[in-house]
Structure 1
Amino acid sequence: MLVSTKWLSDYVNIDGITPADLAESITRSGIEVDAIIDRSMGMTHVVVGHVLECVKHPEADKLNICQVNVGSEVTQIICGAANIAEGQKVIVARPGAVLPGDFKIKTAKLRGEESNGMICSLQELAIEGKLVPKAYAEGIYVLPDNAVPGENALPLIGLDDVILEFDLTANRSDALSMLGVAYEVGAILSQGIALPEISYTESSERAEDVLKLRIDASKDNPMYVAKVVKNVVIKESPLWLQNRLMAVGIRPHNNVVDITNYVLMEYGQPLHAFDYDRLETGEIVVRYAEDGEKITTLDDAERTLKPHHLVITNGKEPVALAGVMGGLDTEVHDGTTTVVIESAYFAPSSIRRSSKEHGLRSDASSRFEKGVDPERVIEAAERAAQLISEIAGGDVLAGSVIIDELDKTPVRITVSPDYINNTLGMKISLEEMLSILDRLQIDTEAINGKLVIDAPTRRQDLRIEEDIIEEIARMHGYDLIPMTLPITESTPGGLSPYQAKRRVIRAFLEGAGLYQALTYSLTSKDQAQKFALETAPVTELLTPMSEDRSVLRQSLIPHLLEVATYNVARRNDSVALYETGSVFLGVEEDGLPKEVEHVAALITGKWLDHAWQAETKMVDFFALKGVVEGMMDSLGLVEGLSFEQAVIEGMHPGRTANIFHNGERVGLIGQVHPTEQKKRDLKNTYVMEMNLAQLLAIETDELLYVPVPRFPSISRDIALVVSSETSAGRLEKVIRNAGGKLLQSVKLFDLYEGDNVEDGKKSVAFSLTYADAERTLKDDEVVKAHEQVLNALTTEAGALLRG
């Protein structure tokens, strides 16, 4: 909402207060002022000029040599505007002027002829082209004949004004009008406001004799007022009216249309003017559209209507889309002599639906959507009739054609002063509360220690006790609300063990080079259970945004794959991501979805890329397996961690494993199936998902650090021939169980299949380290322990020692 301070001063006295101070006061009271716009832009030396003579430039077809009276002298100015003509009053920037954009005006020579200034268009004075009247959209602006040469031109074109740009919240629709702003400013400055005085002479002919009205949709149009004005003369609006409209962002058209827009901005009540003769039937019928019915609106677009669209008709066909935009066939034009002024109350929901479905948002629809003041419907029509009588020379027919079934009873709110003070945490006296409500012109009585309030219809946002508390708080001053600390027994803040462990997980994964991702909890039905560690009945939304976001997820992996696809499609080929988030498995006893926190990771592309050392390593299963082992080690859970080959839908059958901890399945790891990768335009991609809640619930011993051993260790390497189906993990488990307390570490360092190894067999080599922290081991002790390991491998795993 753009507010002209010059226009505002018609209703409330703001003399003596600077625009900056006014904006600060308004902002402090609850309406944020986004910007203060000085329309003059600091311009000087911009005056009225009278073109005494205009001849073609001898050396340029598109230039004219003008002799211009600028008050103090007659000077020569070269002008290239196509519409320049002798006898015009124009805007002249004299030498020394600085126009917006730091454009400095100097005396210059154009094609050998001297030019002492510039004849200006409105665009050159920083008025947006979309606001300039169409007659002057191309070329210079022509002032009225009564403009005096040499006087300052800025006040004549409304540039001696300061605009306040409001950032209104949806509930403050009352401030979408100049009178609404005046009520607000008057309350802030403790002043009354001057409402427009409406008076005009009516003709003897009555409006109801020439216009009939019927409403067939009273639910969405409970009130309709029509006035008829004859003998109007359509012409350009007076300059003051054009200036005010341009100041608040509306383009002038002609006097009648400009008056309806002026009243719209003044009262906040949208109006529409019909050409009475083009109505043809002398009748207005408000009804719902017929299915497939068409109307061409003022923007020259043909629109197909649906049965729930509210339309204004002439009894036969639509002439306006109610509350949104008028029809092209009945618009006011240069030949119009009789106009019908429409002022109505339309149901906000109906207008919002029509506006949205047609993609057509207008100044009128935005106000109807939020609810207009029922008490201003008639006033606005009378104000428009007065202005048309004055400006367009029209004869206003007596009375109005009215159908009124609208309930205008003000909302009554009763609230206790103690409740207000307790809610705000401060002490405001009853007298001050009454004073604040009086300044806001809200009818209030103090009855039996309570405030009984009849909310004015112009304030559609006042409905409940809390609305009144807000009014009192903001006008008293939010900055006066005392700052206090809660009175309670406080305990030092800190992280729970669960939260601390989760931070360890995140820190490790980020240290390993993975970036954190945050994805939707909502997914599609076909993706909800894909890759899930555990499945349960899916939780569906009652009103989903779309089919792709209709149910709650049961795995994090599908969304990480979406993120990877998005990045790869934008040439970010190497992606490493992790996410900690909830999956939703069925329903709890209280009826809410059961949330279980998981951790997932995804890697694709290059894992190592050292261009200078010519070393590149693509991601593989073992890169992600190492991340999982390191993550579990950071939690102190690496003991008991194991991996077992598995077949999981959507995963590569030979490169997928379940993750176990102490025999319990806690996750999965592996490569995404090549078919799934191709569908998502991904190369080899590896994923992991683990039940984080289950992991972090495991109790671990306190971490103890031990000194570096002082005594030497002894290493033994063994190469085993085993069945191709026997996993290295199983062999490692057998070795650890048989090695006893002297066995410190077991590392797999070789795998061989090929020559000298029979079919169906493979060679696996481990390095075993034996040590004792308290003493130096004897050779026979190591031999004994090592033989136990070999015997166990033979008997439990069917392994043979390779010669």
Structure 2
Amino acid sequence: MRVSISWLKELVDFDLSPEGLAEALTMAGFEVEEIEERRTWADGVVVGRVLERQPHPNAEKLSLCTVDIGTATPSTIVCGAANVCADIYVPVATVGTYLPKVDLKIKPRQLRGVPSEGMICSLAELGLAKDSEGIHIFQQEALTPGQDARPLLGLDDSILDLTSTANRADALSMVGIAREVAAITGNPLKLPPSQSLAGIAQSSPVAIELTDAKACPIYIGTVMEQIQIGPSPDWLKQRLAAAGTRSISNVVDITNYVLLEWGQPLHAFDLDQLQAAAGAPLTVGVRLAQSAEKLCTLDGQDRQLTPQTLLITANDRPVALAGVMGGEETEVHDQTQTVFLEAAYFDAAAIRRSARSQGLRTEASARYERGVNPAELTLACDRALQLLQELAGATIVGQAEDRTEVGRITPTRTLDLRLSRVNQILGPTVESNAAGTAALDRDTVEALLTKLGCETKPVGSAAATVWQVTVPPYRYRDLEREIDLIEEIARLYGYDRFANTLPAQTARGFLSPEAALSQQLRAAFRGAGLTEVLHYSLTKPAEGDQRETQVVLANPLFAEYSALRSDLLSGLIDAYQYNLEQGNGPLNAFEIGHVFSMAEGELVETEKVAGIVGGDSRRGRWVSGAQPLTWYEAKGLLEEVCDRLNLTVDYRPDSAVPRLHPGRTAGLWVRGRLRLGTFGQLHPELRQQRGLPDEIYLFELDWSVLKTCCLAQYSGQMVRFQPYSPYPAADRDLAFFAPVEIAVADLQKLMLKTGGKLLETVTLFDQYRGQNVPESQRSLAFRLVYRSPDRTLTDSDIEPVHQKIRAALEKAYPVSLRS
């Protein structure tokens, strides 16, 4: 919000410089992004009176002006504006003046052979307008040539560009900032003059009807006649310009002025247009829109309304977006004579949903979204009516008001505050004489709370001071707990006035088991040669059956990002294709992220681990011969990661994933009953569509299962070191015919279990199907490695175990041993 220092000084007295005020507000929790010194825009610009205007002898579009600028001799100034004439008062930039907005320094010079001493300025040259058709002409009376022009232009001011936190809705108004400055300085607050209009006739030609008690608890509508539409006075235009608001007409400017002053949005309807659009008698209401309804707003946009859009209606016909923007059909224009002024309190959540449904954010909606003060609604309305009477000649005909049960209740809150808790949280303060430290006392806390507008009532004994603190209505949405009051005390007292203290007890920080596992997993993938990638959770909508379970946004910013991703593989495939197209070669990558889906109407969010590997990493290098990654090599990369996590995984045939090769896909299982995920080769059809190489392999793991399996084995246990055996190993080969449907993993598991401690590893080194092999069977050859940690094994040690394994295989499976 842009805060005018001169306007602020009318609401609270202070002698701080703009820099000092910015520092004080910053220490109080506000961010001052910029100090705009408007005095420098026209330093050296004075009031001049044009005594005589003559045509330029050498140029048709130039004028030769004699101007009195308060010096002994009038100045001769060449001017190119069409509206210059004799006997007018104008702003004149004297010789030596620098105009920063147009980066121009005024020097004596010759213009078409005629000397010119100075420049008659337009508002654009002074930084007060983007474009100007001619020079500015002062309308004020009793001006003195040579006087400083800045007070007449509103440039004797400084502007603070101030940002408040989202919880400080009261800070989006000049009165709110004035309250803050009054609390900082201790000076009294001077609220804007407001004439009580309690005697307004309650009989109004317009009726009010509220049907949604939560969305709009209070609505005040005032009918005025004999409105004289015209330009606003200079002081009003200048204050709006300082706040960054364009002047339109006196009626519209007054509603914007009260918005800036009190933080209460108002809206003025042309009553004649309102009745012409809806008919008479007229009833104004507030309701949610229907899907088929449309409305053309003040910005000229035809808007398709949604059930989340809150509307102002006239006889149930939409005429405005409630709390956001008015309708073009009922706007105030140059011929307006009767006005219906709206002053309402809308629910913050309702306006937030409504504005987002239209992709629209205005000054009004920004304040309603944070929450306006319903207790000051009538005060702001009376202030606007007073200005309309003074500046637009309005005659008030009547006023109608409707309040629901919620609107009749003034929001109040009483909190208990303990002095002991204040000092426990904030600690000791640093005394001004640096003689030592002391805690905040009772009187200081009460004084600070009073500055905030709170009412304090001590309860209990003086030794254990406790207050019942009543929060003012304008801080109702902000001060909700005891800790909020403690924060306000620290903020006003000054954070720098508290002593530096360290915690009495400290402890080393540590990672949670889940975070440590995540780091270990990432390190394992990097060690296997994979690069971590990140993708947006938002993606484009899916097609076909997947769309039914995909989470689609109701109001997306872009069509390409209008749904939440349901898997990680799509993003990895896109990244792989993009890298190839950019000439970067194949991409071996992994990603850890959240995926989303809909199940029985409920949003389900899970975390997945996925990766993609494949292609020939040596392509384009000096080595010759393509060596693409095989299925077993890709499987080995994943097994390497699992080994680093001490996780044993079984691979079982699977064909449930459509984008993976039906004959080269395996389900990953842990302990035979927990499904960890899927690993497989990219489906040939998808590969051809994308123009990708054959050797691309993908995997997707369930993080919750991975976490359960990895953390369970370390629960309450220390990792024990197991030394390597210094004794040599002895190996034996075992070959047999086995049915194709028997998994190699099951055979290996049985052999390891039967072999006991002596059997170190079981490795498949040969597989053959063809001549001399029975139909529907295959020849498998395993190498079994035996080793003891304390001795060299002999044949007498190995042979009984080896025969036991042979017997176990023949008993468990229909195999035919060959060796």
Q: Report the TM-score when normalising by structure 2.
A: 0.72
Matched ranges for 1:642-657 at <5 A: 647-650=655-658, 651-657=660-666
For residues 62-81 of structure 1, what are the structure 2 equivalents within 5 Å? 64-67=62-65, 69=67, 71=69, 72=71, 73-77=74-78, 79=80
Cα distance in 2 for partners of 1:402, 1:322 equals 16
In structure 2, do the counterparts of structure 1 residues 608 and 398 end up closer, same or farther at CA, with 3 Å as the change threshold? same
Q: Does structure 1 retain, via aligned residues, the 8 Å contact 2:530–2:589?
A: yes
Q: 2:382 is matched with which residue?
A: 382
Query: Which of 474, 477, 483 matches 1:461?
Result: 477
| Counterpart residue identity of residue 264, structure 1 | L
1:630 lines up with 2:647 in the alignment: no
- The answer to whether 1:215 aligns with 2:208 is yes
| Structure-2 separation of matches of 1:166 and 1:435 | 26
Per the alignment, residue 574 of structure 1 pairs with 586
1:183 maps to which residue? 179
Q: 1:282 to 1:172 in 2, by over 3 A?
A: farther
Query: 1:560·1:577 contact (CA, 8 Å) conserved in 2?
Result: no
User: In 2 relative to 1, CA 325–520 (structure 1 residues): closer, same or farther, beyond 3 Å?
Assistant: closer
Compared CA separation, residues 383 and 594, structure 1 to 2 (3 A)? closer
Matches within 5 A, 1:338-417: 339=339, 341-348=341-348, 351-352=351-352, 354-392=354-392, 394=393, 396-397=395-396, 406-407=407-408, 409=410, 411-417=412-418
- Decide whether aligned partners of structure 1 residues 784 and 23 sit closer, same or farther in structure 2, where only a CA change above 3 A counts: same
Q: CA deviation at 1:245?
A: 0.3
CA distance in 2, matches of 1:697, 1:87: 94
Secondary structure of the structure 2 residue equivalent to 1:458 = helix
Structure 1 segment 212-291 matched on structure 2, within 5 A: 212-217=205-210, 219=213, 220=216, 222-224=218-220, 226=222, 228=224, 230=226, 233-275=228-270, 285-288=283-286
2:521 partner SS: helix
Q: Percent identity?
A: 36
Q: 1:472 aligns with which of 489, 492, 504?
A: 489
Cα deviation 1:679-708 (Å, max 9, x = unaligned) = 777654312345534255457974567699
Who is 1:167 aligned against?
163
C-alpha distance after superposition, 1:72-125 (max 9, x if no partner): 44233453x666666654444455444446823354666666665555444444
Distance 1:117 1:239 in 2: 25
For residue 617 of structure 2, give the secondary structure of its aligned residue in structure 1.
strand
- Check conservation: 1:215, 1:287, Cα contact below 8 A: yes
User: What corresponds to 1:669 in structure 2?
Assistant: 679
In the alignment, the residues of structure 1 paired with residue 359 and residue 596 of structure 2 have an alpha-carbon distance, to the nearest angstrom, of 38
Which amino acid in the other structure matches residue 254 of structure 1?
Answer: S
Computed over aligned residues only, the root mean square deviation of the Cα atoms, in angstroms, reads: 5.9
Query: Which stretch of structure 1 is more off in the superposition, 759-768 or 500-509?
Result: 759-768
Q: Which stretch shifts more, 319-328 or 186-195?
A: 319-328
Whether 2:190 is the aligned partner of 1:194: answer yes
Matched, 1:440 2:452: yes
Quote the Cα distance in structure 2 between the aligned partners of 1:767 and 1:49. 106
Q: Is the contact made by 1:90 and 1:140 (CA closer than 8 Å) also made in structure 2?
A: yes
Would the alpha carbon gap of residues 68 and 267 (structure 1) be closer, same or farther in structure 2, given more than 3 Å must change? farther
Give the aligned partner of residue 29 of structure 1: 28
Query: Structure 1 pair 127/511, CA: closer, same or farther in 2 (3 Å)?
Result: farther
The Cα shift of 1:45 comes to: 3.4
Q: Does 1:424 align with 2:462?
A: no
* Residue segments in structure 2 that go unaligned for 5+ positions in a row: 428-438
Name the amino acid aligned to 1:568.
Q
| CA distance in structure 2 between the partners assigned to 1:257 and 1:3 by the alignment | 20
Q: Which moved more, 1:152-161 or 1:333-342?
A: 333-342
Q: Does 1:103 align with 2:103?
A: yes
2:44 matched residue in structure 1: 45
**Which deviates further from its counterpart, 515-524 or 566-575?**
515-524
CA distances 1:239-277 after superposition (whole Å, capped 9, x unpaired): 221111011121011223222222221122333344566
Judged with a 3 Å threshold, the aligned counterparts in structure 2 of structure 1 residues 769 and 41 are, in CA distance, closer, same or farther, namely farther
Letter in 1 for 2:682: V
Question: Aligned ranges for residues 347-746 of structure 1 at < 5 Å?
Answer: 347-348=347-348, 351-352=351-352, 354-392=354-392, 394=393, 396-397=395-396, 406-407=407-408, 409=410, 411-418=412-419, 420-421=421-422, 424=425, 426=427, 427-448=439-460, 450-461=466-477, 464-466=480-482, 467-480=484-497, 492-494=508-510, 503-517=519-533, 558-565=567-574, 568-569=577-578, 571=581, 574-579=586-591, 599-609=609-619, 611-613=621-623, 617-635=627-645, 647-650=655-658, 651-657=660-666, 668-675=678-685, 677=687, 684=694, 685-689=696-700, 692=706, 693-695=708-710, 697-698=712-713, 702-703=720-721
User: C-alpha displacement at 1:189, in angstroms?
Assistant: 0.7
Q: Which amino acid aligns with 1:421?
A: V
State the SS of the aligned residue for 1:156: helix
Q: Which residue of 2 aligns with 1:133?
A: none
TM-score, normalised by the number of residues in structure 1 = 0.74
Structure 1 residue 629: Cα displacement:
3.8
1:7 is aligned to 2:2: no
CA distance in 2, matches of 1:595, 1:697: 23
C-alpha distance in 1 between matches for 2:115 and 2:772? 104
CA deviation after TM superposition for structure 1 residue 299, in Å: 3.2
Partner of 2:430: none
Quickly say closer, same or farther: Cα 1:278–1:656, change in 2 above 3 A: closer
Q: What amino acid maps onto 2:312 in structure 1? A: V
Distance in structure 1 (CA, Å) of the matches to 2:758 and 2:349: 80
Deviation at 1:192, TM superposition (A): 0.6
CA distance change for structure 1 residues 3 and 586 in 2, over 3 Å: closer, same or farther?
A: closer
Q: Distance in 1 between matches of 2:298 and 2:605?
A: 54
1:613–1:75: structure 2 CA closer, same or farther, 3 Å change rule? farther
CA separation of 1:166 and 1:764: change in aligned 2, threshold 3 A: same
Change (3 A) 1:114 1:565: farther
- Cα distance in 2 for residues equivalent to 1:731 and 1:403: 81
Between Structure 1 and Structure 2, how many residues are aligned? 761
CA contact (8 A) 2:273 2:329 kept: yes
In structure 2, relative to structure 1, the CA distance for the partners of 1:660 and 1:345 (3 Å cut) is closer
Shift of 1:333: 3.6
Distance 1:78 1:734 in 2: 103
- Tell me how far 1:569 sits from its aligned partner: 4.9
In structure 2, the residue matched to 1:533 is none
Check conservation: 1:412, 1:452, Cα contact below 8 A. no
Could you tell me how far apart the structure 1 residues matched to 2:530 and 2:565 are?
25
Query: Deviations for 1:469-510, whole angstroms, at most 9, x for unmatched residues?
Result: 44334323345566655556x665556788656544321311
Structure 1 residue 611 displacement after superposition: 2.9
| SS of corresponding position for 2:267 | strand
CA 1:14–1:619 in structure 2 vs 1: closer, same or farther (change >3 Å)?
farther
Q: Give distance in 2, aligned partners of 1:177 and 1:754.
A: 87
Instruction: Look up the SS of the partner of 1:380 in the other structure.
Output: helix
Say whether the 8 Å CA contact 2:296–2:303 is kept in structure 1.
Answer: yes
Give the 3 Å change call, closer, same or farther, for CA 477–144 of structure 1 in structure 2.
same
Contact 1:201 1:396 in 2 (8 A): no
User: Is residue 176–residue 262 contact of structure 2 (8 Å, CA) maintained in 1?
Assistant: yes
Structure 1 residues 743 and 296: alpha-carbon distance in aligned structure 2, compared to 1, 3 A threshold: closer
